[in-house]
Chains A and B, each alone.
Chain A
Amino acid sequence: MPFIFSVDIGGTFTDLVACDLDSGALSFSKSPTTYDDLGRGVFDCIRRASVDARDAIFVKHGTTLVINALLQRSGAVTALVTTRGFADVLEIARGNRMRPFDLRFRRDEPLIPHELRFEVSERMLASGQVETPLAESELKDLAGRLREAKVEAVAISFLNAYANPEHEQRAAKILRELLPGTFVTSGTEVTREWHEFERTATAASNAYVGPQVSRYVEHFDASLRKVGFPGSLLFMGSHGGVVSSARTVREPISLVESGPVGGCIGAARYAASLGLENIIAFDMGGTTAKCILIENGEYAVESTYYIGGEETGFPIRGNVIDIVEVGAGGGSIAWVDEHGGMSVGPRSAGSTPGPVCYGRGGTEPTVTDANLVLGRLDAGYFLGGEMKLDAPAAQQAIAKKIAEPLQYRGESAVAKAASGILTIAGFTMADAIKRISISRGKDPRDFALVSYGGGGPLHSAELARELHIPFVIIPPEPGNFSATGMLLAEARLDSARTFVAELSEASMQQLTGVMAELQQGARAAMEADFGSESEANKAKVAFRNQAELRYVGQKHSLKVALPEQQSLEELSAIFHRAYRQRYGHSMPGAPVEFVAIHVAATLEMRRPRTDALMSQQSRVHEGRPRTRPVYFLDAERYVPTPVYNRYDLPVGFAADGPAVIEEYGATTLVGPRDKFSIGELKEIKIDCRN
């Protein structure tokens, strides 16, 4: 009984999904996250899922370890080595203030304080020429001081190293020799892009989390081996693919968004098996809502990511799936300010105290409270009835905190206030979807919305209407979809090369060489990382190429797909079109230049069948009313609405809205003007066209 499994360690729960490769059966298990020893929670999950680790081929693991270490500043004692004269680059940052009138505005402290920043003599020019050779003798003295300071990790970042990384490479080699057991990384090992602050911050972050991630991987691997696990331990990378343990240890920063991407990938692959190439994946949880966009089966990967948010945090360069996240979740708190303005989020009641209706001491009305008051949630069937909700308390909180200050009066005051909460939360969610689509030059009408997470299915039909999205898809087990998604992810390795040349027949010739080199390198790296796996030898490495282009003279560039065998005219036309689509105008006569070439190498892995994602057990719920009044925002009133149990609905079932479809971890709402049906893969498909 060979099987594969995935583990998602979240803030509250550790989720495991195992897939039996013979029968295709899935099993799910859940266990509280054990912060002191994360592995314990995982093994508890393995036990609960009644699977035998000895039969496992591989495990895919998503973790928030990296981002948490950076946010909580719990990483290693880390030193930074820079070009002489530039130790403060990391602290000065870009000097911008994101809150324009705030005298108290300040950025988060630099990851590495002044005491641990060191300078060595060397200087590279922008042309890549050496101006001052690397003073290797200084490094010997430096190693002594680093030892004295009990440094566990070292980041090296030199000015203009993007143009020529020789000095960084040499310095890294020397320090590795002189400081065995210390984690040493250089900026250009992680990113070859220019801009000294961003690259330095990336090197610093990689070093900062390096020792902790190494220890974690080692410990986790050893404990798996102890229970007889013979397979490979793989990690979910921020770029949406799976990476090997060895690479994770070298480039831990590539796991910065390891946690949340699983669901997005799952949504993309799930939709592909439904024949949907263009989707927006929408995930709404307790605190935030996230979305990504998939076009022609592919999602975009961005190279700048902010640790701690753009406002006061700092950027790192690395490949992170292009994701928009907003503070609108079930726990988002609603309030009215003293001037009669109403807001929802980003403050969240979280899971403790949680929404008022949880009865755990929460006093401020939340999105979940509004949903409950409006009949959209069933107080008796939350988490399949495991948790009772206190509807009168929610009602009271909304009356007092929202309806009263807004001077809503009469019988319908609370419903009006609650629908106001949902309208504003809905705006925030719609805005996130607009940012991932319209702001990127895409029209949401060309996409289907794939919605999951605890709250996604409750809001997605209304969101789709607001944005004129024609269809909504709710996959099975939407509450567990993040771990399921990981099981569907392929292995991936991204590489890039700066290639600045005006678009011409000559540069197209050179391009062929650059791409071949990149692909060769990526293939070799993939084989080194995944070669030991049986399926890797059978499967083939596939490549997706992208060119980063801009008009000559511009400072920012645009990535476009770069199919093999491209003619000059075609590529140029692709760029002008993409530019126009994104920015609303283009300059057809203007010269265009290459800035960089990107190659994503992927490798298909064994994965569950997408028609078998529904959990096997049926959770029957007795004695519920078959209809109840539900408030719909666009109807602006309560509508008598049939209530279905998702586990009872057979493939091919179809009905008109309105409808409520309940299952263990989520409730799906179908609007009065919508239709819905159960598709081949047991997905709920909502048609919002008319």
Chain B
Amino acid sequence: MTAETNLSAARKSVPEAPSRVDPVTVEVIKRRLVSIADHMDLNITRTAFSLLVSEYKDYAVGIVDGEGRLLCQSTAGMPLFIADVLGSCVRDGLKVYGADGFAEGDVVISNDIGQHLNNVAMYTPVFEGRTIVAFVVVVMHWVDIGGRNLGSTSRFATDIWQEGLLINTVKLYSAGRLNEEVQRIIRTNSRLPEELMGDIDAQIGACYMGRDGVDGIVKKYGLEVFRESVVAMWDQAERAARKAIAAVPDGIYTAEAFMDDDGLNRGKPIPLKVKVVIKGDEMTVDLSELPKETKSAINAGESGGGWSVARLGFRYAILPEGHASEGTFRPLKLVLPQGNIMNCGPTAARSYYNLALPTLIDLVIKSLATAIPDRVAGGHYATFSSVRFRGNKPGTRQAFQCAESGFGGWGALSDGDGPGPFRTMCHGDTRLIPMEAQEAEFPIVFESMGLLPDSGGPGEFRGGLGMIKKYKVLAPCEFSVSVDRTACPPWGINGGGAATGGGATITKADGSSGAVLKEVTNMDKGDRVTIWTGGGGGYGPAEKRAIERIRQDVSRGHVSREAAERDYGVVLDEQLNVVRRQAPVKRDSA
């Protein structure tokens, strides 16, 4: 089927007949909604207490309609939360309370959303008369919510109750009045109550602010125009999505990779296989061949796991532009049987629910390598590479938790080198926490932080570089680290070479040292950690890379002279003059 016939299919499925609302009104209402979400986003950053929220920006903001259908999200929020979590928590609430069980000023919280329990969704209704027109939702990573260990996420959790306080749809505020008992349960179950309560205040403040904003729009345009505009907005988004899918040749596409292990069963790889079916203007992501849910903590629920893979993969590979709304995802289907790691049962542990997500999203892109060669990219480093130092601040009984995740290389493209270092495809506008802020707050010192030469996969276009950083610990504490994708490093694409994977070593004060990947261990004063991330995969054969680019890479320290010779067959002298160009030594390629 050609793209053109697909286009006509697109027209068929969404009638072009213009709705009764003027397109200008639709546009203005759409942009007003996004502007409200962006304002909430900004205020959360400015009023939060923890570095995880104020600097890492581990939260997301969205507005859904009275039935939980997505109206918009903030412009630069975390892609990870684009999954249906915003809507599904609201639908859970509607089941629990019924549509007439909400009052103005209610603030409902829930962390039973298929991700780790730290991710707590909070929402408040917007009323017009007695009708709920919308819910304003903020999902935020709570710094500690009880469970086995500080920070709540645990490598060793084997069921959900070990991972903290489970809150399935509870009113923190009823009709604007604080439910102090609920608040007390949360406070007394957290090891970091001051930080957490401050962050929660920021979350509540944003919800109420968003509610007033949406209320203003509905008052100005009236309920009927508002609703018609939303329908028109969804249809517009759906048309755009169908058109983008229709431009991809029909076919069944697959891609595979594997994770190193789940952290409990060391060295036992986890095979991942993704199937993408493009048919006309619809796309199906089939995850039925993923492994069964496990006893370890790498499971995810359907909305937090499977739908994240489908929606994010679709957005990255096929429709990166524009604001997403319910309509954007109408032509997207998910095949995902229950009991699979991306659609786990209610009791499965989920601390590291995100372990495989970046790789799975990347596989959706990889599967389309030959179908849309100019839209895809080499694999990215795809692993959270998180480090946590936790303990008591020296000389006090006050707990601290220093959490940061890694930044690595992204894949090369058909027309340029890979970018980065960035966080994974699950992250967006989330920022590296300044070293100065970390050193001021936690008993650690950085010894270096820099780009990692030769980590990018070779190719006509080179993959982006990973990063390497070294820490020294100033006080006894517990250290945990999670690195993966070392045995299956980021792949090259369409002839490009693979990147190098990440890794970590611990060097004790006595000089002994060893490599670690997923580890929880005690550190003493003077112990050191080195952690590095993978690069991005290359694009196209390395032989075709322009000499000027290779020379610049070597001059900028991105590629060593040895690697220039090995990976590109280009021998350079001290002054970077080309001595000769020969066939490169082949690295594996996709």
Contact = CB atoms under 8 A, between A and B. Distances in A.
A binds B: yes
Interface of A: 84-89, 91-107, 113-115, 125-126, 131, 159-160, 162-163, 194-198, 336, 338-343, 406-407, 420, 423-424, 427, 431, 434-435, 438-439, 551, 553-556, 583-585, 587
18 contacts: A85-B448, A88-B449, A89-B449, A96-B57, A97-B423, A97-B429, A101-B319, A103-B375, A104-B416, A114-B556, A131-B445, A194-B437, A420-B24, A424-B24, A439-B42, A556-B45, A584-B205, A585-B201
B31 A427 contact: yes
Given A197-B434, A555-B49, A587 B201 contact: yes
A475 to B, nearest CB: 29
Contact of B470 (A85, A87, A99): A85
A554 B428 contact: no
Contacts of B45: 556
Nearest to B557: A114
Nearest to A587: B201
Contact of B28 (A88, A336, A423, A551): A423
B447 interface: yes
B242 to A, nearest CB: 10
B436 A434 contact: no
B413 A104 contact: yes
Contacts of B558: 114
A-B residue pairs, 5 tightest by C-beta: A85-B448, A100-B428, A106-B419, A88-B450, A101-B320
Given A439-B39, A554-B49, 18 more contacts: A95-B407, A95-B422, A96-B431, A97-B427, A97-B428, A100-B77, A102-B320, A114-B555, A115-B555, A126-B436, A160-B436, A160-B439, A196-B434, A198-B434, A339-B237, A420-B23, A555-B55, A556-B46
B48 A407 contact: no
A93 B422 CA distance: 10
A78 to B, nearest CB: 16
Contacts of A98: 75-76, 428-429
Contacts of A162: 436
Given A160-B439, A342-B23, A424-B28, A95 B423 contact: yes
Contacts of A585: 201, 204-205, 208
A338 B321 CA distance: 14
Contact of B27 (A92, A159, A341): A341
A342 B434 contact: no
A615 B346 CA distance: 76
A342 B79 contact: no
B451 A92 contact: yes
Given A342-B23, A427-B28, A100 B48 contact: no
A514 to B, nearest CB: 20
Contacts of B208: 584-585
Nearest to B48: A555
A159 B447 CA distance: 11
A472 B321 CA distance: 38
A86 B449 contact: yes
A194 B28 contact: no
A407 B18 contact: yes
Interface of B: 16, 18, 22-24, 26-28, 31-32, 35, 39, 42-43, 45-51, 54-55, 57, 75-79, 82, 194-195, 198, 201, 204-205, 208-209, 212, 236-237, 239-240, 243, 312, 315-316, 319-321, 365, 375-377, 407, 410-411, 413, 416, 419-423, 427-432, 434-437, 439-440, 445-451, 467, 470, 555-558
Contact of B430 (A84, A96, A434): A96
Contacts of A435: 39
With most chain A CB atoms within 10 A of its CB, the pick from B42, B312, B420 is B420
B243 A338 contact: yes
Contact of A86 (B423, B427, B428, B448): B448
Contact of B431 (A95, A107, A125): A95
A551 B46 CA distance: 11
B320 A103 contact: yes
A315 to B, nearest CB: 11
Contact of A159 (B209, B243, B435): B435
Contacts of A438: 39
A163 B440 CA distance: 10
Nearest to A87: B450
B236 A583 contact: no
Given A101-B320, A553-B195, A125 B27 contact: no
B47 A554 contact: yes
Contacts of B75: 98
B204 A342 contact: no
A190 B232 CA distance: 51
Contacts of B39: 435, 438-439
Contacts of A95: 407, 420-423, 431-432
Contacts of A340: 16, 18, 23, 236, 239
B450 A85 contact: yes
B590 to A, nearest CB: 16
A114 B555 CA distance: 8
Contacts of B448: 84-86
A638 B329 CA distance: 42
Contacts of A101: 79, 312, 315-316, 319-321
A423 B31 CA distance: 12
Contacts of A159: 435-436, 446
Contact of A88 (B312, B413, B451): B451
Nearest to B53: A555
Nearest to B209: A584
Contacts of B450: 85-88, 92
A406 B434 contact: no
Contact of A103 (B43, B79, B204, B413): B413
B400 to A, nearest CB: 12
A194 B18 contact: no
A390 B348 CA distance: 70
With most chain B CB atoms within 10 A of its CB, the pick from A97, A125, A427, A434 is A97
With most chain A CB atoms within 10 A of its CB, the pick from B16, B320, B413 is B320
B556 A97 contact: no
A343 B447 contact: no
B556 A115 contact: yes
Nearest to B449: A86
Nearest to B22: A420
A113 B431 CA distance: 22
B4 to A, nearest CB: 14
Contacts of B428: 96-98, 100
Contacts of B237: 339
B338 to A, nearest CB: 28
B79 A343 contact: no
A101 B23 CA distance: 26
Nearest to A198: B434
B76 A113 contact: no
Nearest to B210: A584
A315 B61 CA distance: 24
A584 B47 CA distance: 11
A554 B445 contact: no
Contacts of A198: 434
Contacts of B194: 553
A75 B353 CA distance: 48
A444 to B, nearest CB: 13
Nearest to B427: A97
Given A97-B427, A104-B416, A194-B440, A583 B47 contact: yes
Given A95-B407, A104-B413, A587-B201, A195 B436 contact: yes
A427 B27 CA distance: 10
With most chain B CB atoms within 10 A of its CB, the pick from A89, A420, A556, A584 is A584
Nearest to A102: B320
Contacts of A86: 446, 448-450
A555 B423 CA distance: 22
A556 B28 contact: no
Given A96-B428, A340-B23, A431 B18 contact: no
Given A88-B449, A585-B201, A434 B35 contact: yes
Contacts of B436: 126, 159-160, 162, 194-196
